[in-house]
């Protein structure tokens, strides 16, 4: 506020040549997200940092760029801990004042979103995360630890196409909803599904209604879920009055693609009361089909900065995303922000660790609260 007041008064303090050079250097190594979302000049954003702190920040940013994260952490038994250790090495001996950190974070005000739909998004992420657990009882217990009202009804597999999905109930906004969650890539069969999805095929509902062109592998796995009774089970729950609050559909990674396909069929043939939350989802539909579903289905698509899975299958192959795109991003200060992005957005950077469900949980909790 002091810096802003001085600026408006026309008596802004001149900075030294050394500080100007540091600011210029910082701008060259600052991630693209920061440059696009800062609402103040970098000089003002860093006004709370003295020259020594500014020099330390520049060194940290260079360290982040120069470390080969994939080389050191790819074979680690815990990539999360490996990344934390490497990050700690970059910050070794660096101590920054609160004024330095908070001044930078405040410079994003007006360009980022306030946390909304936190309870629904965190509940959906819990289901998308723990559907990876093979044991039904353990999975239900893990989800209930986050969503106390959750009750598991049934699970499904996609046979030769791998996969795992669940149907359950929980409470959202005072109403009971039926939850459908799909597991992401986990097995060798799932990998083959992903690879086969660079080719498009005509996709239809159980009764033959077209839902548009989609990834061939994605659709093969989705049909296998239907053959294992998924649609019949959801119809039974709807007809039995178990879903007065509608359907909440979710999935991470490959599971996000399955959630998008199921949402399209559900909207056409089961109920229009459909809400979707996906995390690190690849493009499931052709760009034309995605454009059809975009204004129709209530969907939030979460993408973490650097998550490479959200970029495939590539747009130049004719694929597209649909849904409200929200990016989760953590700055060098450790603060996490949510930014609203274009519908077919995929993040800058290419870092497989950014695809982990634990990272999505940490970032969503950081913005919404535990």
- Per-residue pLDDT reduced to its tens digit, 106-141: 999 999 998 888 899 999 999 999 999 999 999 999
What value, to the nearest 5°, has the Cα angle with vertex 308 and ends 306 and 309?
135
**How far apart are the C-alpha atoms of 156 and 164, rounded to whole Å?**
6
pLDDT for 275 beyond 50: yes
Query: What local confidence, expressed as pLDDT, does residue 70 receive?
Result: 65
pLDDT for 13 beyond 80: no
Mean pLDDT of the 7-26 span: 79
Mean pLDDT of the 136-153 span: 98
Q: How far is CA 306 from CA 96, 234, 340, 342, in A?
A: 26, 35, 16, 16
Query: What local confidence, expressed as pLDDT, does residue 21 receive?
Result: 97
The phi and psi torsions of 86 (rounded to 5 degrees) equal -65, -40
Sign, Cα dihedral of 273, 279, 283, 287: positive
pLDDT for 2 beyond 90: no
Lowest mean per-residue pLDDT among 11-20, 33-42, 182-191, 296-305: 11-20
Compute the mean pLDDT over every residue in the chain, rounded to the nearest whole number: 92
pLDDT for 309 beyond 90: yes
The phi and psi torsions of 85 (rounded to 5 degrees) equal -65, -45
**How far apart are the C-alpha atoms of 116 and 202, rounded to whole Å?**
35
Sign, Cα dihedral of 360, 363, 369, 370: positive
Query: What local confidence, expressed as pLDDT, does residue 67 receive?
Result: 79
Query: What local confidence, expressed as pLDDT, does residue 6 receive?
Result: 39
**How far apart are the C-alpha atoms of 200 and 216, rounded to whole Å?**
5
Q: Which residue has the higher pLDDT, 8 or 190?
A: 190
pLDDT for 4 beyond 70: no
Residues belonging to the chain: 370
Place of tokens 């879920």: 225
**Residue 348 near residue 33, CB atoms below 8 Å:** yes
Crossing angle between the packed helical segments 51-66 and 17-29, to the nearest 10 degrees:
30
| Count of CB atoms situated within 10 Å of the CB of 351 | 17
Question: What pTM did the predictor assign?
Answer: 0.92
Superfamily name and number for 118-368? Alpha/Beta hydrolase fold, catalytic domain (3.40.50.1820)
**Residue 205 near residue 134, CB atoms below 8 Å:** no
The confidence band for 12, taking pLDDT boundaries of 50, 70 and 90, is: low
**How far apart are the C-alpha atoms of 370 and 366, rounded to whole Å?**
7
- Per-residue pLDDT reduced to its tens digit, 58-107: 999 999 888 776 666 766 656 677 777 888 899 999 999 999 999 999 99
What value, to the nearest 5°, has the Cα angle with vertex 243 and ends 239 and 246?
115
- Per-residue pLDDT reduced to its tens digit, 228-272: 999 999 999 999 999 999 999 999 999 999 999 999 999 999 999
Q: How many CA within 13 A on the CB side of residue 142?
A: 16
| Contacts with 111 (C-beta within 8 Å, 6 or more apart), sequence order | 37, 38, 39, 339
**Residue 215 near residue 91, CB atoms below 8 Å:** no
125-152 burial code (b ≥16 CB/10 A, e <16):
bbbbbbbbbeeeeebbebbbebbeebeb
Ranges in the chain annotated CATH 3.40.50.1820: 118-368
**Residue 84 near residue 359, CB atoms below 8 Å:** no
What value, to the nearest 5°, has the Cα angle with vertex 120 and ends 246 and 313?
90
Query: What local confidence, expressed as pLDDT, does residue 136 receive?
Result: 98
Q: Which residue has the higher pLDDT, 146 or 347?
A: 146
Query: What local confidence, expressed as pLDDT, does residue 347 receive?
Result: 87
**Residue 104 near residue 333, CB atoms below 8 Å:** yes
Query: What local confidence, expressed as pLDDT, does residue 129 receive?
Result: 98
User: Which of 12-16, 49-53, 366-370 has the highest mean predicted lDDT (pLDDT)?
Assistant: 49-53
Query: What local confidence, expressed as pLDDT, does residue 268 receive?
Result: 97
pLDDT for 142 beyond 50: yes
Identify which of 36, 98, 34 has the alpha carbon closest to the alpha carbon of residue 330: 34
Query: What local confidence, expressed as pLDDT, does residue 72 receive?
Result: 63
Sheet holding 210-215, edge to edge: 200-204, 210-215, 285-286, 319-320
| Count of CB atoms situated within 10 Å of the CB of 274 | 21
| Contacts with 302 (C-beta within 8 Å, 6 or more apart), sequence order | 121, 125, 277, 278, 279, 280, 326, 327, 328, 360, 364
Mean pLDDT of the 26-39 span: 94
């Amino acid at each position: 506020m002091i810096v802003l007041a001085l600026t408006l008064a026309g008596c802004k303090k001149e900075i030294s040549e050394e500080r100007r050079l540091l600011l210029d250097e910082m701008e060259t190594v600052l991630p693209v997200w920061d440059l696009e979302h800062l609402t103040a000049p970098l000089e003002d954003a860093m006004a709370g940092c003295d020259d020594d702190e500014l020099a330390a920040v520049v060194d940290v940013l260079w360290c982040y760029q120069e470390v080969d994260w994939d080389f050191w952490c790819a074979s680690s038994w815990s990539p999360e801990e490996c990344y934390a250790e490497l990050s700690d090495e970059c910050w070794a001996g660096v101590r920054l004042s609160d004024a330095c950190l908070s001044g930078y974070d405040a410079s994003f005000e007006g360009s980022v979103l306030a946390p909304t739909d936190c309870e629904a998004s965190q509940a959906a992420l819990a289901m998308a995360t723990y559907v990876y657990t093979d044991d039904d009882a353990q999975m239900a217990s893990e989800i209930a630890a986050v969503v106390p009202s959750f009750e598991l009804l049934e699970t499904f597999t996609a046979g030769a196409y791998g996969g795992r999905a669940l149907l359950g109930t929980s409470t959202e906004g005072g109403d009971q909803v039926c939850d459908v969650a799909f597991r992401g890539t986990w097995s060798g069969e799932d990998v083959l599904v992903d690879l086969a999805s660079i080719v498009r095929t005509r996709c239809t509902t159980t009764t033959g209604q077209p839902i548009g062109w989609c990834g061939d592998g994605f659709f093969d796995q989705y049909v296998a879920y239907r053959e294992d009774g998924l649609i019949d089970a959801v119809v039974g729950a709807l007809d039995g009055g178990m879903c007065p609050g509608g359907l909440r559909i979710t999935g991470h990674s490959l599971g996000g693609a399955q959630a998008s396909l199921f949402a399209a069929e559900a909207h056409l043939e089961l109920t229009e009361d459909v809400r979707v939350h996906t995390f690190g989802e690849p493009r499931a539909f052709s760009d034309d089909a995605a454009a059809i579903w975009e204004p129709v289905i209530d969907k939030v698509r979460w993408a973490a900065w650097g998550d490479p899975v959200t970029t495939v299958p590539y747009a130049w192959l004719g694929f597209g995303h649909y849904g409200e795109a929200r990016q989760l991003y953590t700055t060098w200060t450790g603060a996490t922000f949510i930014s609203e992005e274009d519908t077919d957005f995929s993040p800058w950077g290419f870092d497989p660790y950014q695809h982990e469900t634990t990272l999505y949980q940490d970032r969503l909790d950081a913005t919404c609260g535990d």
